[in-house]
């Protein structure tokens, strides 16, 4: 990764699971600016579906912002495995979503997806639950510097 790398944290939730889905995330631009999203989805599904939709949303948005290098953090080990090359064993019900997320890889010069524990994904987790994100991004910023 270089100084031109965007660093993003994403999360998806379904309450109950399965249930109403929400997605959220935060992206740190190379200039240090942060950009957040928090959105309720119009249908129900499971946590794994919400995580994949969060990845698609974030990668599409980053593509539109002109990001060429991205380090994407998720607390979903399933999403991280599905985004790996070669991808993990397909999950039939969600195969189309994971394929859509993987197809976005071609939009970037470099895309790395890393699993992080939930306690290092607090801002994205709060945004995905529709809660106010912690006022201080220090938890994710600290994770950003220790994980990069």
pTM for the model stands at 0.89
Cis status, amide bond into 86, omega within 30 of 0: yes
User: For the stretch 83-109, what's the b/e string if a residue is b when 16 or more beta carbons lie within 10 angstroms of its beta carbon?
Assistant: beeeeeeebeebeebbeebbebeeebe
Per-residue pLDDT of the chain (148 residues; tens, 9 = 90+): 789 999 999 999 999 999 999 999 999 999 999 999 999 999 999 999 999 999 999 999 999 999 999 999 999 999 999 999 787 898 999 999 999 999 999 999 999 999 999 999 999 999 999 998 776 454 444 444 434 4
């Amino acid at each position: 990764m270089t100084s031109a790398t965007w660093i993003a944290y994403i999360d998806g939730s379904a309450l109950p699971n399965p249930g109403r889905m929400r997605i959220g995330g935060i992206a740190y631009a190379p200039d240090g600016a942060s950009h957040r999203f928090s959105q309720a989805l119009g249908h129900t599904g499971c946590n794994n579906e919400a995580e994949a939709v969060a990845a698609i949303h974030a990668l599409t948005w980053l593509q539109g912002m002109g990001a060429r290098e991205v380090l994407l953090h998720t607390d979903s080990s399933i999403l991280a495995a599905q985004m790996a090359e070669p991808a993990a064993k397909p999950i039939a019900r969600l195969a189309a979503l994971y394929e859509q997320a993987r197809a976005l890889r071609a939009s970037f010069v470099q895309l790395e997806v890393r699993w992080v524990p939930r306690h290092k994904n607090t801002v994205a987790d709060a945004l995905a639950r529709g809660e106010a994100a912690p006022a201080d991004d220090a938890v994710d910023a600290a994770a950003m510097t220790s994980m990069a």
